[in-house]
Amino acid sequence: MPKRERESELKHELQHLQKKATGDVYSRISDTATQGRGSEAGWTSCPLCNANQKKYALGRGITMHLEEVHTPWNPKKAEKARRQRLKRRIQGCVYKVFQQIENQKGDEALETFQDEILGVVPMKLEAEDRNRYQQRLQQHYLGDVWNRDGKYEPTKDEISKWKQRVLDIATELQQEYEQNKSAESEKFVRSGLDRNGRKSETYNDSLPSFIKAAADGNLDILEQMVKKAREENSLHALLDTKDRNGSSAEHWSSGNGHLKCLDFLMKVTESIGYKEKITRRRRDGKTSLHYASRNGQAEIIRFLILKQVVDVDAVSGDGTTPLHLALYGGNLESIQCLIEHKADIMKRNDWNCGIGHWIAISIQTDSQKIREILDYVKKIAPCTFEIFGTAQKQGHTSVHKAAQKLNKSFIQWIAEESKSWSSLQRNCVGAPDIGDNTPSDIWLKMGGDEEFASWMKNHLKW
Protein backbone atom coordinates (compact mmCIF):
# COMPACT_ATOMS: atom_id res chain seq x y z
CA MET A 1 0.00 0.00 0.00
CA PRO A 2 1.45 3.45 -0.92
CA LYS A 3 2.59 5.62 1.98
CA ARG A 4 0.05 8.40 1.36
CA GLU A 5 -2.84 5.92 1.18
CA ARG A 6 -1.65 4.28 4.39
CA GLU A 7 -1.48 7.67 6.13
CA SER A 8 -4.97 8.56 4.89
CA GLU A 9 -6.40 5.36 6.40
CA LEU A 10 -4.68 6.01 9.70
CA LYS A 11 -5.94 9.56 9.77
CA HIS A 12 -9.50 8.36 9.12
CA GLU A 13 -9.27 5.71 11.85
CA LEU A 14 -7.85 8.17 14.38
CA GLN A 15 -10.67 10.64 13.68
CA HIS A 16 -13.25 7.84 14.03
CA LEU A 17 -11.76 6.65 17.32
CA GLN A 18 -11.51 10.19 18.66
CA LYS A 19 -15.22 10.69 18.00
CA LYS A 20 -16.02 7.48 19.93
CA ALA A 21 -13.66 8.38 22.76
CA THR A 22 -14.83 11.95 23.35
CA GLY A 23 -18.32 12.06 21.86
CA ASP A 24 -20.12 10.64 24.90
CA VAL A 25 -18.33 12.28 27.78
CA TYR A 26 -21.08 14.19 29.52
CA SER A 27 -24.25 13.57 31.82
CA ARG A 28 -27.96 12.64 32.13
CA ILE A 29 -31.26 12.82 30.23
CA SER A 30 -34.79 12.26 31.47
CA ASP A 31 -36.97 11.89 28.40
CA THR A 32 -36.87 10.59 24.82
CA ALA A 33 -39.21 10.40 21.88
CA THR A 34 -40.59 6.96 22.75
CA GLN A 35 -41.73 5.89 26.21
CA GLY A 36 -42.68 2.32 27.09
CA ARG A 37 -41.41 -1.19 27.40
CA GLY A 38 -39.64 -2.91 24.53
CA SER A 39 -42.58 -5.20 23.82
CA GLU A 40 -44.51 -2.04 22.90
CA ALA A 41 -41.74 0.12 21.45
CA GLY A 42 -39.20 -2.37 20.08
CA TRP A 43 -35.73 -3.30 21.26
CA THR A 44 -32.20 -2.21 20.37
CA SER A 45 -28.65 -3.14 21.28
CA CYS A 46 -26.42 -0.42 22.74
CA PRO A 47 -24.09 1.21 20.18
CA LEU A 48 -21.54 1.95 22.94
CA CYS A 49 -21.27 -1.59 24.32
CA ASN A 50 -19.59 -3.07 21.23
CA ALA A 51 -19.70 -6.85 21.73
CA ASN A 52 -22.61 -6.77 24.19
CA GLN A 53 -25.71 -7.78 22.21
CA LYS A 54 -28.22 -7.44 25.07
CA LYS A 55 -31.33 -5.60 23.92
CA TYR A 56 -32.89 -2.56 25.61
CA ALA A 57 -36.29 -0.98 25.07
CA LEU A 58 -36.19 1.84 22.54
CA GLY A 59 -36.65 5.20 24.21
CA ARG A 60 -36.72 4.79 27.97
CA GLY A 61 -34.80 1.50 28.19
CA ILE A 62 -31.77 2.45 26.10
CA THR A 63 -31.71 5.92 27.69
CA MET A 64 -31.63 4.45 31.21
CA HIS A 65 -28.88 2.05 30.14
CA LEU A 66 -26.78 4.90 28.73
CA GLU A 67 -27.24 6.86 31.95
CA GLU A 68 -26.49 3.99 34.30
CA VAL A 69 -23.60 2.38 32.43
CA HIS A 70 -21.95 5.02 30.25
CA THR A 71 -22.25 8.25 32.25
CA PRO A 72 -18.61 9.41 32.22
CA TRP A 73 -18.38 10.65 35.80
CA ASN A 74 -19.80 7.42 37.16
CA PRO A 75 -18.48 4.75 34.76
CA LYS A 76 -19.47 1.13 35.33
CA LYS A 77 -17.58 -2.01 34.33
CA ALA A 78 -18.78 -2.04 30.71
CA GLU A 79 -17.89 1.62 30.16
CA LYS A 80 -14.46 1.21 31.74
CA ALA A 81 -13.76 -1.79 29.49
CA ARG A 82 -14.95 0.16 26.44
CA ARG A 83 -12.59 3.01 27.29
CA GLN A 84 -9.67 0.63 27.66
CA ARG A 85 -10.38 -0.95 24.26
CA LEU A 86 -10.53 2.45 22.59
CA LYS A 87 -7.44 3.61 24.42
CA ARG A 88 -5.44 0.61 23.20
CA ARG A 89 -6.62 1.11 19.61
CA ILE A 90 -5.77 4.80 19.63
CA GLN A 91 -2.38 4.10 21.12
CA GLY A 92 -1.84 1.48 18.42
CA CYS A 93 -2.72 3.93 15.65
CA VAL A 94 -0.35 6.59 16.92
CA TYR A 95 2.39 3.98 17.37
CA LYS A 96 1.95 2.75 13.78
CA VAL A 97 2.39 6.28 12.46
CA PHE A 98 5.56 6.74 14.46
CA GLN A 99 6.83 3.39 13.19
CA GLN A 100 6.39 4.60 9.62
CA ILE A 101 8.57 7.65 10.22
CA GLU A 102 11.10 5.90 12.45
CA ASN A 103 13.79 5.72 9.77
CA GLN A 104 13.27 9.29 8.53
CA LYS A 105 14.77 12.46 9.95
CA GLY A 106 12.95 13.17 13.17
CA ASP A 107 11.76 16.78 12.97
CA GLU A 108 11.11 16.69 9.23
CA ALA A 109 9.09 13.48 9.55
CA LEU A 110 7.11 14.90 12.46
CA GLU A 111 6.28 17.96 10.40
CA THR A 112 4.88 15.71 7.67
CA PHE A 113 2.99 13.73 10.30
CA GLN A 114 1.64 17.01 11.70
CA ASP A 115 0.55 18.47 8.38
CA GLU A 116 -0.91 15.40 6.68
CA ILE A 117 -2.38 13.36 9.51
CA LEU A 118 -2.83 15.26 12.75
CA GLY A 119 -3.82 18.68 11.48
CA VAL A 120 -4.76 20.71 14.56
CA VAL A 121 -2.50 18.97 17.10
CA PRO A 122 0.34 21.29 18.26
CA MET A 123 3.82 20.59 16.88
CA LYS A 124 6.50 18.93 18.94
CA LEU A 125 7.66 21.37 21.57
CA GLU A 126 11.25 22.43 21.88
CA ALA A 127 13.22 20.03 24.09
CA GLU A 128 10.31 17.53 23.98
CA ASP A 129 11.44 14.01 23.05
CA ARG A 130 9.54 11.79 20.68
CA ASN A 131 8.02 9.56 23.40
CA ARG A 132 6.57 12.53 25.29
CA TYR A 133 5.20 13.95 22.04
CA GLN A 134 3.63 10.60 21.23
CA GLN A 135 1.94 10.54 24.66
CA ARG A 136 0.61 14.05 24.11
CA LEU A 137 -0.90 13.05 20.77
CA GLN A 138 -2.62 10.08 22.37
CA GLN A 139 -4.01 12.31 25.10
CA HIS A 140 -5.34 14.71 22.49
CA TYR A 141 -7.34 11.96 20.81
CA LEU A 142 -8.53 10.42 24.05
CA GLY A 143 -9.65 13.70 25.63
CA ASP A 144 -9.05 15.06 29.13
CA VAL A 145 -11.96 13.13 30.62
CA TRP A 146 -10.04 9.88 30.10
CA ASN A 147 -7.42 10.98 32.61
CA ARG A 148 -9.99 11.24 35.42
CA ASP A 149 -10.09 8.07 37.52
CA GLY A 150 -13.42 6.84 38.86
CA LYS A 151 -16.18 9.26 39.84
CA TYR A 152 -15.87 13.03 39.60
CA GLU A 153 -18.09 16.11 39.64
CA PRO A 154 -19.12 17.18 36.12
CA THR A 155 -19.27 20.76 34.91
CA LYS A 156 -22.52 22.28 33.61
CA ASP A 157 -21.10 22.16 30.11
CA GLU A 158 -20.35 18.44 30.46
CA ILE A 159 -23.87 17.79 31.76
CA SER A 160 -25.43 19.68 28.88
CA LYS A 161 -23.33 17.95 26.24
CA TRP A 162 -23.93 14.46 27.61
CA LYS A 163 -27.66 15.14 27.90
CA GLN A 164 -27.72 16.07 24.24
CA ARG A 165 -25.50 13.13 23.33
CA VAL A 166 -27.87 10.60 24.96
CA LEU A 167 -30.88 12.21 23.31
CA ASP A 168 -29.13 12.09 19.93
CA ILE A 169 -28.28 8.40 20.35
CA ALA A 170 -31.85 7.51 21.39
CA THR A 171 -33.32 9.54 18.52
CA GLU A 172 -30.95 8.06 15.92
CA LEU A 173 -31.77 4.53 17.09
CA GLN A 174 -35.49 5.27 16.94
CA GLN A 175 -35.22 6.61 13.40
CA GLU A 176 -33.09 3.68 12.25
CA TYR A 177 -35.57 1.25 13.81
CA GLU A 178 -38.52 2.89 12.02
CA GLN A 179 -36.69 2.62 8.70
CA ASN A 180 -35.76 -1.04 9.20
CA LYS A 181 -38.40 -2.55 11.49
CA SER A 182 -39.89 -4.73 8.75
CA ALA A 183 -36.53 -6.43 8.09
CA GLU A 184 -34.63 -8.88 10.27
CA SER A 185 -31.73 -7.27 12.10
CA GLU A 186 -29.14 -8.21 14.72
CA LYS A 187 -29.36 -4.69 16.08
CA PHE A 188 -33.15 -4.48 16.59
CA VAL A 189 -36.04 -6.66 17.75
CA ARG A 190 -39.47 -5.47 16.67
CA SER A 191 -42.32 -4.59 19.02
CA GLY A 192 -44.65 -7.40 20.03
CA LEU A 193 -41.69 -9.64 20.89
CA ASP A 194 -39.54 -9.94 23.98
CA ARG A 195 -35.87 -8.89 23.92
CA ASN A 196 -34.89 -12.40 22.76
CA GLY A 197 -37.23 -12.31 19.77
CA ARG A 198 -39.92 -14.53 21.28
CA LYS A 199 -43.60 -13.66 21.42
CA SER A 200 -44.08 -11.25 24.31
CA GLU A 201 -46.09 -12.18 27.39
CA THR A 202 -47.76 -9.79 29.81
CA TYR A 203 -46.07 -9.56 33.19
CA ASN A 204 -48.87 -11.51 34.93
CA ASP A 205 -48.92 -14.21 32.23
CA SER A 206 -45.17 -14.69 32.66
CA LEU A 207 -45.36 -15.37 36.43
CA PRO A 208 -44.24 -18.84 37.53
CA SER A 209 -47.10 -20.78 39.11
CA PHE A 210 -45.63 -20.52 42.63
CA ILE A 211 -45.33 -16.73 42.31
CA LYS A 212 -48.81 -16.52 40.76
CA ALA A 213 -50.37 -18.33 43.73
CA ALA A 214 -48.68 -15.90 46.15
CA ALA A 215 -49.75 -12.91 44.06
CA ASP A 216 -53.37 -14.11 44.02
CA GLY A 217 -53.38 -15.01 47.71
CA ASN A 218 -54.16 -18.65 46.94
CA LEU A 219 -52.96 -20.37 50.12
CA ASP A 220 -54.29 -23.81 49.11
CA ILE A 221 -52.13 -23.94 45.98
CA LEU A 222 -49.08 -22.71 47.90
CA GLU A 223 -49.55 -25.46 50.49
CA GLN A 224 -49.95 -28.11 47.79
CA MET A 225 -46.83 -26.97 45.94
CA VAL A 226 -44.76 -26.87 49.13
CA LYS A 227 -45.96 -30.36 50.09
CA LYS A 228 -45.01 -31.74 46.69
CA ALA A 229 -41.63 -30.00 46.77
CA ARG A 230 -40.88 -31.55 50.20
CA GLU A 231 -41.67 -35.00 48.80
CA GLU A 232 -39.42 -34.41 45.79
CA ASN A 233 -36.65 -32.84 47.88
CA SER A 234 -36.88 -29.63 45.83
CA LEU A 235 -38.16 -27.18 48.43
CA HIS A 236 -35.10 -24.93 48.30
CA ALA A 237 -35.51 -24.50 44.56
CA LEU A 238 -39.21 -23.74 44.95
CA LEU A 239 -38.57 -21.07 47.59
CA ASP A 240 -35.94 -19.53 45.31
CA THR A 241 -38.43 -19.09 42.46
CA LYS A 242 -38.31 -15.57 40.99
CA ASP A 243 -40.28 -13.74 38.34
CA ARG A 244 -38.58 -12.13 35.36
CA ASN A 245 -37.79 -9.01 37.39
CA GLY A 246 -36.28 -10.95 40.28
CA SER A 247 -39.26 -10.71 42.65
CA SER A 248 -40.05 -13.61 44.97
CA ALA A 249 -43.29 -15.09 46.29
CA GLU A 250 -42.79 -13.06 49.49
CA HIS A 251 -42.58 -9.84 47.48
CA TRP A 252 -45.87 -10.59 45.73
CA SER A 253 -47.78 -11.69 48.82
CA SER A 254 -46.52 -8.60 50.69
CA GLY A 255 -47.28 -6.14 47.92
CA ASN A 256 -50.75 -7.55 47.34
CA GLY A 257 -51.64 -7.70 51.03
CA HIS A 258 -51.96 -11.49 51.46
CA LEU A 259 -50.91 -11.87 55.08
CA LYS A 260 -51.80 -15.57 55.46
CA CYS A 261 -49.71 -16.46 52.41
CA LEU A 262 -46.78 -14.38 53.61
CA ASP A 263 -46.93 -15.93 57.09
CA PHE A 264 -47.03 -19.41 55.59
CA LEU A 265 -44.06 -18.73 53.28
CA MET A 266 -42.00 -17.34 56.12
CA LYS A 267 -42.73 -20.33 58.37
CA VAL A 268 -41.74 -22.74 55.60
CA THR A 269 -38.53 -20.80 55.05
CA GLU A 270 -37.71 -20.86 58.78
CA SER A 271 -38.54 -24.56 59.07
CA ILE A 272 -35.67 -25.57 56.81
CA GLY A 273 -33.08 -23.27 58.38
CA TYR A 274 -33.29 -20.83 55.50
CA LYS A 275 -33.41 -17.74 57.72
CA GLU A 276 -31.18 -15.58 55.55
CA LYS A 277 -33.69 -15.98 52.72
CA ILE A 278 -36.51 -14.42 54.72
CA THR A 279 -35.07 -11.00 53.92
CA ARG A 280 -34.60 -11.95 50.27
CA ARG A 281 -34.28 -8.95 47.97
CA ARG A 282 -35.13 -8.27 44.40
CA ARG A 283 -32.25 -7.61 42.02
CA ASP A 284 -32.69 -3.86 42.65
CA GLY A 285 -32.40 -4.39 46.40
CA LYS A 286 -36.07 -3.94 47.34
CA THR A 287 -37.45 -6.07 50.18
CA SER A 288 -40.98 -7.24 50.93
CA LEU A 289 -41.34 -4.20 53.20
CA HIS A 290 -40.66 -1.90 50.23
CA TYR A 291 -43.51 -3.48 48.28
CA ALA A 292 -45.94 -3.50 51.17
CA SER A 293 -45.14 0.18 51.73
CA ARG A 294 -45.43 1.08 48.05
CA ASN A 295 -48.88 -0.52 47.84
CA GLY A 296 -50.28 0.79 51.12
CA GLN A 297 -50.45 -2.57 52.92
CA ALA A 298 -50.35 -1.33 56.54
CA GLU A 299 -51.20 -4.74 58.03
CA ILE A 300 -48.26 -6.34 56.21
CA ILE A 301 -45.96 -3.50 57.28
CA ARG A 302 -46.78 -4.06 60.95
CA PHE A 303 -46.34 -7.81 60.57
CA LEU A 304 -42.90 -7.51 58.92
CA ILE A 305 -41.63 -4.95 61.41
CA LEU A 306 -42.92 -6.78 64.50
CA LYS A 307 -41.45 -10.03 63.19
CA GLN A 308 -38.17 -8.13 62.81
CA VAL A 309 -37.85 -9.61 59.35
CA VAL A 310 -36.33 -6.47 57.86
CA ASP A 311 -35.13 -3.13 59.18
CA VAL A 312 -37.67 -0.32 58.92
CA ASP A 313 -35.07 1.79 57.08
CA ALA A 314 -33.79 -0.97 54.79
CA VAL A 315 -32.45 0.60 51.59
CA SER A 316 -32.74 -0.61 48.02
CA GLY A 317 -29.86 -0.50 45.57
CA ASP A 318 -30.21 3.26 45.12
CA GLY A 319 -30.83 4.06 48.78
CA THR A 320 -34.63 4.18 48.62
CA THR A 321 -36.35 3.30 51.91
CA PRO A 322 -39.80 1.77 52.56
CA LEU A 323 -40.95 5.20 53.82
CA HIS A 324 -39.99 6.79 50.51
CA LEU A 325 -42.15 4.28 48.65
CA ALA A 326 -45.01 4.64 51.12
CA LEU A 327 -45.03 8.38 50.41
CA TYR A 328 -44.90 7.64 46.69
CA GLY A 329 -47.88 5.31 47.10
CA GLY A 330 -49.76 8.00 49.01
CA ASN A 331 -51.40 5.90 51.73
CA LEU A 332 -51.43 7.84 55.01
CA GLU A 333 -51.97 4.81 57.28
CA SER A 334 -48.88 3.09 55.86
CA ILE A 335 -46.83 6.27 56.23
CA GLN A 336 -47.93 6.68 59.85
CA CYS A 337 -47.22 3.02 60.57
CA LEU A 338 -43.61 3.29 59.35
CA ILE A 339 -42.98 6.56 61.20
CA GLU A 340 -44.51 5.21 64.41
CA HIS A 341 -41.98 2.38 64.15
CA LYS A 342 -39.12 4.90 63.98
CA ALA A 343 -38.60 5.22 60.22
CA ASP A 344 -36.06 8.00 59.57
CA ILE A 345 -37.90 10.94 57.99
CA MET A 346 -34.63 12.70 57.12
CA LYS A 347 -33.11 9.81 55.18
CA ARG A 348 -32.26 10.48 51.51
CA ASN A 349 -31.48 8.13 48.66
CA ASP A 350 -28.41 8.16 46.42
CA TRP A 351 -29.88 11.02 44.36
CA ASN A 352 -30.31 13.00 47.57
CA CYS A 353 -34.09 12.77 47.26
CA GLY A 354 -35.88 13.01 50.60
CA ILE A 355 -39.46 12.50 51.68
CA GLY A 356 -40.55 15.86 50.24
CA HIS A 357 -39.50 14.76 46.77
CA TRP A 358 -41.39 11.46 47.12
CA ILE A 359 -44.62 13.16 48.21
CA ALA A 360 -44.28 15.52 45.25
CA ILE A 361 -44.23 12.65 42.74
CA SER A 362 -46.82 10.53 44.54
CA ILE A 363 -49.22 8.46 42.44
CA GLN A 364 -52.00 9.49 44.81
CA THR A 365 -54.44 11.48 42.66
CA ASP A 366 -56.77 12.67 45.45
CA SER A 367 -55.56 16.20 46.27
CA GLN A 368 -57.24 16.10 49.69
CA LYS A 369 -55.32 12.96 50.65
CA ILE A 370 -52.07 14.56 49.49
CA ARG A 371 -52.82 17.56 51.72
CA GLU A 372 -53.49 15.24 54.66
CA ILE A 373 -50.07 13.64 54.15
CA LEU A 374 -48.43 17.06 53.91
CA ASP A 375 -50.16 18.25 57.10
CA TYR A 376 -49.08 15.08 58.92
CA VAL A 377 -45.44 15.49 57.83
CA LYS A 378 -45.54 19.12 58.92
CA LYS A 379 -46.53 18.04 62.44
CA ILE A 380 -43.59 15.67 62.82
CA ALA A 381 -40.90 17.44 60.79
CA PRO A 382 -38.28 19.50 62.66
CA CYS A 383 -38.11 22.01 59.79
CA THR A 384 -40.34 22.01 56.72
CA PHE A 385 -37.74 23.82 54.60
CA GLU A 386 -35.26 20.95 55.08
CA ILE A 387 -37.99 18.54 54.01
CA PHE A 388 -39.43 20.43 51.05
CA GLY A 389 -36.96 23.14 50.11
CA THR A 390 -33.58 21.45 49.66
CA ALA A 391 -32.39 20.27 46.26
CA GLN A 392 -31.27 16.82 45.15
CA LYS A 393 -28.35 16.13 42.79
CA GLN A 394 -30.08 17.46 39.68
CA GLY A 395 -30.98 20.67 41.48
CA HIS A 396 -34.63 19.67 41.95
CA THR A 397 -36.49 20.64 45.08
CA SER A 398 -39.86 19.08 45.85
CA VAL A 399 -41.48 21.93 43.90
CA HIS A 400 -39.57 21.01 40.73
CA LYS A 401 -40.73 17.41 41.17
CA ALA A 402 -44.32 18.48 41.75
CA ALA A 403 -44.16 20.58 38.57
CA GLN A 404 -43.03 17.51 36.64
CA LYS A 405 -46.16 15.70 37.83
CA LEU A 406 -48.41 18.78 37.38
CA ASN A 407 -49.24 18.44 41.08
CA LYS A 408 -50.97 21.78 41.58
CA SER A 409 -52.32 21.14 45.10
CA PHE A 410 -48.83 20.24 46.34
CA ILE A 411 -47.33 23.46 44.96
CA GLN A 412 -50.16 25.53 46.45
CA TRP A 413 -49.58 23.91 49.85
CA ILE A 414 -45.84 24.66 49.67
CA ALA A 415 -46.55 28.24 48.60
CA GLU A 416 -48.63 28.72 51.75
CA GLU A 417 -46.13 26.92 53.99
CA SER A 418 -43.17 28.91 52.62
CA LYS A 419 -44.58 32.13 54.06
CA SER A 420 -42.97 31.10 57.36
CA TRP A 421 -39.57 30.63 55.68
CA SER A 422 -36.89 33.26 55.14
CA SER A 423 -36.73 35.08 51.81
CA LEU A 424 -33.51 33.18 51.01
CA GLN A 425 -35.25 29.85 51.64
CA ARG A 426 -38.20 30.84 49.45
CA ASN A 427 -35.77 31.73 46.68
CA CYS A 428 -33.94 28.41 47.06
CA VAL A 429 -37.04 26.27 46.68
CA GLY A 430 -37.76 27.74 43.26
CA ALA A 431 -34.20 28.31 42.05
CA PRO A 432 -33.19 26.98 38.60
CA ASP A 433 -32.01 23.36 38.53
CA ILE A 434 -28.70 22.29 36.93
CA GLY A 435 -30.40 22.48 33.53
CA ASP A 436 -31.40 26.09 34.33
CA ASN A 437 -35.12 25.22 34.62
CA THR A 438 -37.32 26.79 37.27
CA PRO A 439 -40.48 24.99 38.48
CA SER A 440 -42.62 27.21 36.22
CA ASP A 441 -40.43 26.27 33.23
CA ILE A 442 -40.89 22.57 34.01
CA TRP A 443 -44.63 23.04 34.50
CA LEU A 444 -44.99 24.46 30.99
CA LYS A 445 -42.74 21.81 29.44
CA MET A 446 -44.96 19.10 30.95
CA GLY A 447 -48.06 20.66 29.39
CA GLY A 448 -49.31 22.63 32.40
CA ASP A 449 -51.52 25.68 31.96
CA GLU A 450 -49.91 29.06 31.42
CA GLU A 451 -52.00 30.80 34.08
CA PHE A 452 -50.61 28.69 36.91
CA ALA A 453 -47.08 28.93 35.51
CA SER A 454 -47.43 32.71 35.42
CA TRP A 455 -48.62 32.71 39.05
CA MET A 456 -45.59 30.65 40.12
CA LYS A 457 -43.20 32.83 38.14
CA ASN A 458 -44.55 36.28 38.98
CA HIS A 459 -46.06 35.80 42.44
CA LEU A 460 -43.63 33.26 43.90
CA LYS A 461 -40.54 33.93 41.74
CA TRP A 462 -40.45 30.18 40.99
Is the pLDDT reported for residue 112 higher than 70? no
Whether residue 171 is contained in a domain is answered as: yes
* Alpha-carbon dihedral angle through residues 179, 180, 182, 184, given to the nearest 10 degrees: 180
Strand partners, 189: 43
Whether residue 310 is contained in a domain is answered as: yes
Is the pLDDT reported for residue 330 higher than 90? yes
Query: Closest by alpha carbon to 331, among 304, 362, 361?
Result: 362
Average pLDDT, the chain: 81
CA dist., res. 327 & res. 348, Å (int): 13
Mean pLDDT of 327-336: 95
Sign, CA dihedral 301-305-310-316, equals positive
Whether residue 442 is contained in a domain is answered as: no
How would DSSP label each residue in 368-408? Answer: HHHHHHHHHHHHH-S-HHHHHT---TTS--HHHHHHHTT-H
Structural domain boundaries, residue 227: 209-404
Q: Are residues 225 and 166 in the same domain?
A: no
In this structure, what CATH number is given to the domain that contains residue 247?
Answer: 1.25.40.20
CA dist., res. 443 & res. 405, Å (int): 8
Q: Are residues 184 and 214 in the same domain?
A: no
Q: Are residues 308 and 272 in the same domain?
A: yes
Whether residue 200 is contained in a domain is answered as: no
Does this model's pTM top 0.95?
Answer: no
Whether residue 267 is contained in a domain is answered as: yes
Is the pLDDT reported for residue 107 higher than 90? no
Q: Are residues 240 and 377 in the same domain?
A: yes
CA dist., res. 326 & res. 329, Å (int): 5
> How many domains is the chain built from?
2
**SS3 for 151-210, per residue?**
CCCCCHHHHHHHHHHHHHHHHHHHHHHHHHCCCCCCCEECCCECCCCCECCCCCCCCCHH
Q: Are residues 54 and 111 in the same domain?
A: yes
Q: Are strands 43-45 and 55-57 parallel, antiparallel or unpaired?
A: antiparallel
Mean pLDDT of 159-163: 83
pLDDT of residue 87: 76
Identify residue 438 by its one-letter amino acid code: T
Q: Are strands 188-189 and 55-57 parallel, antiparallel or unpaired?
A: unpaired
